[in-house]
Amino acid sequence: MAALQMLRFPYDQKPYSYGGDELHRAWGRLHAGDKEPFPDAAVVESVSGKGNRAAALASQLQQAWRVYHRGDFNEAIALGSKLGPLGATIANKAAAVAATYLEEDDCRAVRMLQDAAKRAGAATAALPDYPNGWYMQAFVLGRYAQRVSIVKALAEGVGGKVHKALERVIELEPGHADAHIALGLYHAEIIDKVGALAGRLTHGADAAKSVKYFEQALRLTPASAIAHMEFANGLLMLHGDRQKERAIDLYRKAAACKPADAMERLDVEQARAELE
């Protein structure tokens, strides 16, 4: 399986290791973008209904999140995959980050994302009112589309699935900044690949909506590197060199963000690479 391919986080993990109660104390900062509730026993019981197993499952979920945040993505995929719909969020996020930033082989990356999409589908079926089940479905399908090409993914019907899932996230959690980022990208990538007219007529893509989604994400998470970087990417897709100066400013702000975990460190490094 693709998840077994060893993909090592290439930076120091110590700043992103949250032992014991440190995870709880840092949780608000770590999950400002996705609004994932801290998986204590009460939350696990209320979301999953696992009353008799809530405490044990909560402990396992917390450990899987520690593994994810420090950048041991292979281990996070393995642990999260065993822990039901709430664990699928961890596994899928780890798979999407690893496939995007660390896996150089397209075939392996695509398999990782396809496996994640299956987990996400099962999670949304089991917990239809859990926002991050829907968000991870959109996230992994979006990363899949970027790997295989946006045009190919649109022909496969991926675009509609992504948009529907993201609308469900916003319906359940209006303050989900990461979903706003993803919606901004949805509109920008379609316009970039098929044009404004075809994008609007076929997929409802709209440049003004894209910018509004990115701006809302920044209002919700002003310290987010990915919010700044994807806004910059979106502006270049929508307007090219006409928005180059604004995009560069956004990349600079992204590069100056202080990462709280391994994924954010990869985002910051990517922003720095865009400036070089």
Q: What string of DSSP letters covers 88-148?
A: HHHHHHHHHHHHHHT---HHHHHHHHHHHHHHHHHHHHH-TT-HHHHHHHHHHHHHHHHHH
Half-sphere exposure of 253 (CA within 13 A, CB side): 18
**What confidence category does residue 238 fall into, taking pLDDT thresholds of 50, 70 and 90?**
very high
pLDDT in tens, 241-256: 999 999 999 999 999 9
Asked if the structure places residue 252 within a domain, the reply is no
Asked if the structure places residue 199 within a domain, the reply is no
Asked if the structure places residue 101 within a domain, the reply is yes
Lowest mean pLDDT among 25-34, 48-57, 202-211: 48-57
Rounded CA separation 147/141 (Å): 10
**What confidence category does residue 8 fall into, taking pLDDT thresholds of 50, 70 and 90?**
confident
Q: What is the pTM of this model?
A: 0.94
Asked if the structure places residue 58 within a domain, the reply is yes
DSSP 8-state class, residue 63: H
pLDDT in tens, 118-173: 999 999 999 999 999 999 999 999 999 999 998 899 899 999 999 999 999 999 99
For the four alpha carbons of 245, 247, 248 and 252, in that order, the dihedral sign comes to positive
pLDDT at 49: 74
pLDDT at 3: 40
pLDDT mean across residues, the chain: 94
Q: Is residue 220 predicted with pLDDT exceeding 90?
A: yes
Q: What share of the chain is helix, strand, coil (3-state, %, to 5)?
A: 80, 0, 20
Range of the domain at 84: 1-129
Asked if the structure places residue 74 within a domain, the reply is yes
Domain count, the chain: 1
CA-wise closest residue to 36 among 99, 110, 123: 123
Asked if the structure places residue 4 within a domain, the reply is yes
pLDDT at 69: 98
Q: Is residue 13 predicted with pLDDT exceeding 50?
A: yes
pLDDT at 1: 40
Residue with structure tokens 């706003």?
180
Asked if the structure places residue 265 within a domain, the reply is no
Q: Is residue 237 predicted with pLDDT exceeding 60?
A: yes
Structure tokens at 48: 């999953």
Structure tokens at 83: 């822990």
Lowest mean pLDDT among 5-9, 84-88, 225-229: 5-9
**What confidence category does residue 52 fall into, taking pLDDT thresholds of 50, 70 and 90?**
confident
Lowest mean pLDDT among 68-77, 79-88, 147-156, 247-256: 147-156
| % of the chain residues with pLDDT over 70 | 97
pLDDT at 2: 40
Asked if the structure places residue 170 within a domain, the reply is no
Structure tokens at 26: 């840092």
